[in-house]
């Protein structure tokens, strides 16, 4: 038996989503927005991305209560062109601001083949695939990336924080096969994944992070800075994502926000995002596109597994399978997370059954 199972409880996804939505509504989030945010976060639990799912809810709610997160942002359009839009998120919940931004990118792509939405003055937006995947229902390719209010990763060759772990996601529609969904941090692991290992009292691979002395550590509680994925490659990717979100929005990159913001306003130092939607029908037959992607997926799975591997999977396939299983069987969540969520629900008079 997986030793994690003793530390977990099984929760119904529909109930979890309802509880999360009700809690958000209690702190001033409109019901339609609360439902959308809860759906995105529970989807990540279904997909096994717990580090960017409902575990983060308590922090977001506390941020709303403290005034650092706006539960009802008045999103401002700063620039509007046929294929692009620049938005000020008004310090809103990152999921909410990004939900509207990606919808605008999709609308632009319907009219102009591609749609770009760049957002400044937002907050943590959860998993990047929460947003890229919304393009799939429109027969579009979706892309999403973000930068944070600072840096938590060492650029290649460094031992000090010098770049953000700027995650990004592509979502590509398929036909009969599960869509291809790439969602990755530019670091060897997301900070939340290191937090998961700490929660379960597990060791981490040595190449995930450095301790305060610049030495690789397998103790998640001692990680002072995250290492880039694949050395120079993850490091370089993170630089590019930072530019797409920061300077392109008229804001700053993570390292400037953290160490030398100068006379920047607070919104210049907030997380920023970049979204892209590509309308497949503007370029080729959607039916043929999906058939070719299906063929690619099928043929790739025929590759002979190397020693130690049972099968070949494509990006997002394992998460898709988990989602189908957990919608039926429930979501395993750490008992401490559920206890914290229950305490928050009790605080606001929201009933939970676990």
Burial-class residue 158 by CB neighbours within 10 Å (0-12, 13-18, 19+): middle
Residue 4 lies in a domain: no
Residue 1 in this model has a pLDDT that exceeds 70: no
Q: Is residue 341 part of a domain?
A: no
Q: What percent of the chain has pLDDT over 70?
A: 100
Residue pair 229/187 in contact by the 8 Å Cβ criterion: yes
**What average pLDDT does this structure show over 281-293?**
98
Q: What percent of the chain has pLDDT over 90?
A: 97
Residue 42 counted as domain residue: no
Sequence-distant (≥ 6) Cβ neighbours of residue 276 within 8 angstroms: 105, 114, 115, 116, 142, 143, 144
Identify whether 106 is part of a domain: yes
Average pLDDT along the chain: 97
Residues 68-108: tens digit of each pLDDT? 999 999 999 999 999 999 999 999 999 999 999 999 999 99
In a domain, 350, yes or no: no
Q: Is residue 43 part of a domain?
A: no
Average pLDDT rounded to a whole number, residues 176-192: 96
Domain total of the chain: 1
Residue 77 lies in a domain: yes
Q: Tens digits of per-residue pLDDT, 35-68?
A: 999 999 999 999 999 999 999 999 999 999 999 9
Say whether pTM exceeds 0.85: yes
What is the CA 124 to chain-centroid distance, rounded?
A: 8
Integer CA distances (angstroms), 96 to 22, 112, 334, in order = 15, 24, 26
Whether 222 is covered by a domain: the verdict is no
Q: Which of 179, 140, 144, 118 is nearest to 321 (CA)?
A: 179
Q: For residue 310, what is the domain's CATH number?
A: 3.30.1370.60
Angle at 70 between CA 256 and CA 252, to 5 degrees: 15
Domain of residue 258, residue span: 73-187+228-327
């Amino acid at each position: 038996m997986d030793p994690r199972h003793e530390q977990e409880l099984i929760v119904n996804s529909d109930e979890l989503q309802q509880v999360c939505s009700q809690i958000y509504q209690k702190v001033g989030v409109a019901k339609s927005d609360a439902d959308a945010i809860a759906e995105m976060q529970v989807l990540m639990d279904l997909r096994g991305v717990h580090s960017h799912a409902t575990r983060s809810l308590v922090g977001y709610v506390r941020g709303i209560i403290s005034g650092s997160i706006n539960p009802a942002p008045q999103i401002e359009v700063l620039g509007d062109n046929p294929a692009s839009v620049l938005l000020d998120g008004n310090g809103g919940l990152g999921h909410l601001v990004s939900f509207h931004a990606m919808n605008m990118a999709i609308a632009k792509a319907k009219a102009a083949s591609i749609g770009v939405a760049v957002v400044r003055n937002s907050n943590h937006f959860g998993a990047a695939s929460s947003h890229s995947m919304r393009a799939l229902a429109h027969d579009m390719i979706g892309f999403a990336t973000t930068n944070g209010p600072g840096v938590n990763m060492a650029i290649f060759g460094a031992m000090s924080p010098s770049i953000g772990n700027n995650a990004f996601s592509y979502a590509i529609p398929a036909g009969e096969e599960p869509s291809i969904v790439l969602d990755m941090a530019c670091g060897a692991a997301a900070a939340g994944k290191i937090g998961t290992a700490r929660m379960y009292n597990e060791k981490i691979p040595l190449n995930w992070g450095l301790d305060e002395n610049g030495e690789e550590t397998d103790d998640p509680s001692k990680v002072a800075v995250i290492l880039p994925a694949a050395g120079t490659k993850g490091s370089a990717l993170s630089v590019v994502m930072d530019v797409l979100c920061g300077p392109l929005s008229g804001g700053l990159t993570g390292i400037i926000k953290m160490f030398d913001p100068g006379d920047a306003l607070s919104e210049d130092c907030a997380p920023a995002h970049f979204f892209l939607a590509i309308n497949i029908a503007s370029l080729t037959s959607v039916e043929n596109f999906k058939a070719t992607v299906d063929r690619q997926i099928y043929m790739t799975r025929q590759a002979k597994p190397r020693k130690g591997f049972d099968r070949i999977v494509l990006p997002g396939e394992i998460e898709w399978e988990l989602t189908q299983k957990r919608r039926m069987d429930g979501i395993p969540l750490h008992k401490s997370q559920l206890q914290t969520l229950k305490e928050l629900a009790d605080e606001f008079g929201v009933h939970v059954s676990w």
